[in-house]
Structure 1
Amino acid sequence: MQSIKVADYLNHRPVTFTVEMRIESAVEKLLQSAQSGGPVIDNNKRVIGFLSEQDCLRKMLEATYQNESHSVVGDVMTANPVCVSPHDSIVQIADKMTVNKPKLYPVVGEEGVLMGVISRANVLLAIDKHLHDAYASGHRFV
């Protein structure tokens, strides 16, 4: 099962953000995509941050108290987020996801360029498919 790689299950077309994007626009993108967050990229598509629903919720709530919002993604994103490689094992990522907070990791290639994202749902799908294939071929798990 260690041979199942992130590259085989990542989402190649994730929602992404830029540092100068207004929070309201970022929230709309999140809601339309049904992603719980997404990478913040620079002009060269390198991952420089991560924006989560929780980050947006804090800022939007703050804006309701002040009756205005002037925030941009760069104000609330997590800089230098944990990223994974397309060559990483799905099992290793699953282990990380059981103890760490991120529900979604940016997947980066050479020089930190975004290739996609891998979510808990993608990891579950990979493990489920592997188990179904193993059962169909007669392998038993003890």
Structure 2
Amino acid sequence: MRYVVQESSKDFVELDKEIEYLKDYVALQLVRTDNSLDFSYTEIGETKGLQIAPFILVNFIENAFKYGFNAEKNSKIAVKVIVQENVLNFSVSNNIVNESITDEISLKIGLKNTIEHLNQVYEEKHTLTITNDGKTYNVDLRINLI
């Protein structure tokens, strides 16, 4: 909570702090899951000295846990954070196993707001590819942080 209160009003935050926030969020979500979730997290590269607009990445992870975890099914979520030459490559992939959620409007609003924020802050400096084949949802985001 401290991070949310202290950093939410800033235009940019340190990337390593943002990633720590993501890890804390994931740790909290993993407490509520069980052995049916196959979760992986990969982090490669140096994050110190780089900055990012706060709370852009967490929406994708929130949606992965919302739609990608179901204790009654094999659930899989994979998160990758790769930083190379001041470029962040962020990906989230999850099986779609929670069809019981009917809050499609919420998903679309959250995603729409995140895309608008990306376009405002990183116009011409990012690419976002989202694929959904009905079984797997993939997000690939690339941001030039300079």
Higher share in helix? 1
Q: What TM-score, normalized to structure 2?
A: 0.25
Q: What TM-score, normalized to structure 1?
A: 0.25
Of structures 1 and 2, the one scoring higher in RCO (CA 8 A, sep 6+) is 1
Structure of larger gyration radius: 1
Higher share in strand? 2
